[in-house]
Structure 1
Amino acid sequence: MTTRMRSEIAEQPTALRDTLDSLLPKAGEIGALGEQTRQLLFIARGTSDNAAVYGRYLIEAHAGRLAALAAPSIATTYKRKLDLDGVLAVAISQSGRTEEIVETLAWAKDCGAKTVAVTNGGEQSPLAQAADVALCTVAGEEKAVPATKTYTTQLAALAVLAIGLGADVDVDDLRRVPEAVEKLIAEPGDLEAVVEGLLDKQGVVVSGRGMAFSTALETALKLKEACYLHAMGLSYADLLHGPIAVVDADTPALLVASENSPTLQGTVALAERVVAAGAAAYTIGGGDALSRAGTASLNGPDLPEWVAPMGLIVPGQLLTEALARRLGIDPDAPRGLNKVTQTD
């Protein structure tokens, strides 16, 4: 039987095309807000927070603006008012109904920020209604609890945000993403070997750096949610500062990189170090250089680094769904989780 999660993974090319068609015309509205602001503040939780990590790297590397991740508790628990004049606050929520995120965006506006919402909840969602500009993704209803198509379309919306803010990128690269995702779904690489390698493991370290860091965090989250693995998502720079000690024969590494990234060489070196220590290093992306250094490899997209995360996550999604089924877990409805999470 095909799981809902697997069906929704397959819907991503269409969701991405529809989202880009809908949102690219809004780049001008984003540009107008950009003229009134200097830096960005991302407001999100969970999977949306991982999307925000991509947004932060993208904006800083290609739009030349300082970006940061908000601590919503400053608004909702500590109730501190900050000077956010010159700030563009970008709130990300799949449903657009998470009260903490809506409240924090309203707080940011009250503190002087201009505001943008990224949501699949539609124009009438509370988050979209609270924002100066709403970037509503067109993923359609997502029934499986682990987010797949809502995540990749969030990344697409953030790419449009970067374009509106004057990023030094080629829009045609973004238009190629749906086709690249289609190819990865059809040809994910040595999926069965990676599933077999993780089948009897209790934990895994998932690592990437730069643009791929968001993919490492999101892949780790998916493996936690749907496979109940103790999956640790880390930048490889942080991993080398001590946590690498946990990587051994019982705790493999899953390493992620774009083929044309300045972080690729460091990721290859990390894979070689892991294998030399007697542990397994499974890889996602990074081309031949990374796949040769690892134990078994999943394919990456043929895309420039700035849009590669929209493809890099797909093998991680497929791995999560396949591993969950092999473990006898229903990936559509992991224990203890709901589609909309409310926090105080």
Structure 2
Amino acid sequence: MNNIDGKYRKYFLVKEMLEVKKILAATNTLQIFEFIKHIKHKKILLTGEGSSRIFPAKKVIYDARRHNYKEMIITEGASQSAEYNLDDYTVFIASNSGKTKESVTLIEKLRKKKHKNIIAVVAHKNTEIINNADYGYLLGSGHEEAVPATKTVMEQAIFYDILFRKSNNKNLPDLNKMGNLIEKVLKIKIPEKIVNKLVSSKMIYFSGRNNGVAEELTLKTNEIARKKSDYLEGTYAVHGIEEVMSADEIIIVIDPFQEEEPKIQKTLVKGIGMTIIAISTRKTSFPTLQIPDYGEFNPYLELAMGWNLLIETALKQGIDLDHPERARKIGNEFE
């Protein structure tokens, strides 16, 4: 994609994806550091709905487990979170709109229990969630016109990433470098043969680590490419689901485990005749959409490549990127 060709330029969704570079460059890391002092407990809940939770929360949880962060970080949707005892948790609530019903209801229930450590991460000021939290971080990305959330997802993830890396004395990303790499990935030309495979597929599976990338792209496939999709965590793809897979379906593998590639080739490619596409920093045994290598921050680039691929797939089908028929910007708005 690019911001020059008219077929891309007319859509807010493309503009908002390409705004990520500017948003990252403008991020005030010192302001994020200030939120460390607002964390009163070692147990952390990162909640929210849909795209405000999947990648932002699961990316930082993956890092926390790899690096043994001092905080114990979990994530659940707000409705299920309301069933838990959160007395000794710091609760982060992320919402693009600041009006998500499930999250507002969770705050109400926590307030009844005298909970006093709720931190909001939202894109709109003077909204129910930030107004009723103890502390609030206002995203710089602002309002999104397109229904699929993109730039806010990246900024929510960066907020958590920087916050908990600083708290645990881990290396921080160079946000200017990251923004440049994301823009570079978004502008990579996707081979038409790969796009055509996605267009003709009956089902698009995403397989990968439980760090939010594959799962978030599964949701974006519904919203952007209007295709049925499913998320296959880890090596799930070769542990039973192959029984109902078919050759007219496709799997996109995010940074595949190299030692598992022969099994995938044998079971899915040779055994069923499926097409496997990889997104990775290295050339895999599958057709591969290669991204630059930025170490622990590669998930941001993997997500951007997925966006790029889905934009091309949608445009090939003549889809209006900004206006799904049934999906809404605020999935369940507080009224």
Secondary structure in structure 1 of the residue aligned to 2:324: coil
* Cα distance change on mapping 1:68 and 1:205 into 2, 3 Å: same
- For 2:154, the equivalent position in structure 1 comes to 152
* Cα distance change on mapping 1:265 and 1:142 into 2, 3 Å: same
TM-score (norm 2): 0.86
Q: How many residues align?
A: 321
Give me the whole-angstrom Cα distance separating, in 1, the residues matched to 2:201 and 2:166: 44
The structural deviation recorded for 1:30 is 2.6
- For 1:260, the equivalent position in structure 2 comes to none
Q: Identity rate of aligned residues, in percent?
A: 23
Q: 1:186 and 2:177 equivalent?
A: no
* Cα distance change on mapping 1:133 and 1:105 into 2, 3 Å: same
The structural deviation recorded for 1:187 is 2.2
CA contact (8 A) 2:207 2:234 kept: yes
Q: Residue type of the partner of 1:117?
A: A
CA contact (8 A) 1:17 1:178 kept: yes
Secondary structure in structure 2 of the residue aligned to 1:95: coil
The structural deviation recorded for 1:217 is 0.8
The structural deviation recorded for 1:251 is 1.1
Q: 1:65 and 2:65 equivalent?
A: no
- For 1:88, the equivalent position in structure 2 comes to 90
CA contact (8 A) 2:32 2:159 kept: no
CA contact (8 A) 2:96 2:122 kept: yes
Listed as ranges, the gaps of 5+ residues in structure 1 are 258-262
* Cα distance change on mapping 1:221 and 1:309 into 2, 3 Å: same
- For 1:303, the equivalent position in structure 2 comes to 294
- For 1:29, the equivalent position in structure 2 comes to 34
Give me the whole-angstrom Cα distance separating, in 1, the residues matched to 2:132 and 2:263: 44
RMSD: 2.4
TM-score (norm 1): 0.84
Q: 1:102 and 2:104 equivalent?
A: yes
Give me the whole-angstrom Cα distance separating, in 2, the residues matched to 1:116 and 1:269: 45
The structural deviation recorded for 1:204 is 1.4
Q: 1:53 and 2:44 equivalent?
A: no
The structural deviation recorded for 1:227 is 2.1
Structure 1 residues 268-277 or 319-328, which shifts more? 268-277
* CA deviation vs aligned residue, 1:167-214 (integer Å, no higher than 9, x gap): x521144553112112112225x3423211111111011011143xx1
CA contact (8 A) 2:185 2:304 kept: yes
Listed as ranges, the gaps of 5+ residues in structure 2 are 1-6
The structure 2 residue matched to 1:334, chosen from 321, 324, 328, is 324
* Cα distance change on mapping 1:116 and 1:191 into 2, 3 Å: farther
* Cα distance change on mapping 1:42 and 1:75 into 2, 3 Å: closer
* CA deviation vs aligned residue, 1:69-99 (integer Å, no higher than 9, x gap): 23433476xxx5x532331111111111112
- For 2:3, the equivalent position in structure 1 comes to none
Q: Which runs of 4+ in 1 moved over 6 A?
A: none
CA contact (8 A) 1:30 1:165 kept: no
* Cα distance change on mapping 1:46 and 1:170 into 2, 3 Å: same
* Cα distance change on mapping 1:9 and 1:43 into 2, 3 Å: same
CA contact (8 A) 2:46 2:73 kept: yes
Secondary structure in structure 2 of the residue aligned to 1:308: helix
The structural deviation recorded for 1:231 is 0.6
